Amino acid sequence: MDERAALLDEIAHEMRETARWTGRTTLSPRVADALAKVKREAFVAPGTEPAAYENRPLPIGHGQTISQPFVVALMTELLDLQPAERVLEVGTGSGYQTAMLAEIADRVYSIEVIPELAERAAVALSSQGYANVELRTGDGGLGWPEQAPFDAIIVTAAAPDVPRALLDQLRPGGRMMIPVGPRHGDQELLLISKNAVGIGVRRSVLPVAFVPLTGGGRG
């Protein structure tokens, strides 16, 4: 069994093991296909390619990481993306999660606060042929107002609380995945569903450990 197939098997096992909390025993076909297709080695830092298909975070420089593949798959799964939808990603990082979203959604808008990471992600995404992604360098906690509302929002760094600007930019009926908690304390992965009157209904999914969200739009 090659490394990618072994990773897919490991993620399938973790989905079953965490189903009591997540409510999902398996990945949907769309997410499973995206996970199998996206080349993680194209998005890791130079020199870490041999570890690309290990089910763990990897450093990408500037104190940031490329997330664990299981967490990327789970967050994508819980967003329930549809092919015609538009999604906002806060924290482009290496572009790996971005690529996963681009495989499923119609359009992905992604914001990265660190210019060097944004540039590298742009090169990686272009090299892999993702033409339905628009990138911006800036404070992701402020969202992307001129492209709102979004059908789904995914945040790949932990905020002390859900940034109000992001909730405002989520359409009624939209979904948000975001890790919330302090830098060195307990964090939880939240699934937020925005109801018809604009209230975000929160559900805690799993305890997690993410790098902190930076920028003035926090909280």
Tell me the per-residue pLDDT of 142-164, one tens digit each, with 9 for 90 and over. Answer: 999 999 999 999 999 899 999 99
Q: Is residue 114 part of a domain?
A: yes
Which of 67, 110, 193, 204 is the catalytic position?
67
C-alpha to C-alpha distance for 209 and 80, rounded to whole angstroms = 23
pLDDT for position 178 = 96
134 has pLDDT over 70: yes
pLDDT tens track for 44-74: 999 999 999 999 999 999 989 999 999 999 9
- Residues 183-208: what's their mean pLDDT? 90
Domain presence at residue 217: no
The predicted structure's pLDDT at residue 215: 64
Tell whether the model's pLDDT for residue 212 goes beyond 90: no
Asked whether the predicted pLDDT for residue 219 surpasses 70, the reply is no
Residue 218 has what pLDDT? 45
What does pTM read for this prediction? Answer: 0.94
Question: Who wins on pLDDT, 218 or 200?
Answer: 200
**Contact partners, residue 169, CB within 8 Å, separation at least 6:** 88, 143, 144, 145, 148, 149, 150, 153
The CA distance from 69 to 162, in Å, is 23
**37, part of any domain:** yes
- pLDDT score of 42 more than 70: yes
Number of domains in the chain: 1
Q: Is residue 219 part of a domain?
A: no
Judge whether 204 counts as a catalytic residue: no
The tokens 């690529």 sit on which residue?
99
Q: Which domain holds residue 78?
A: 3-208
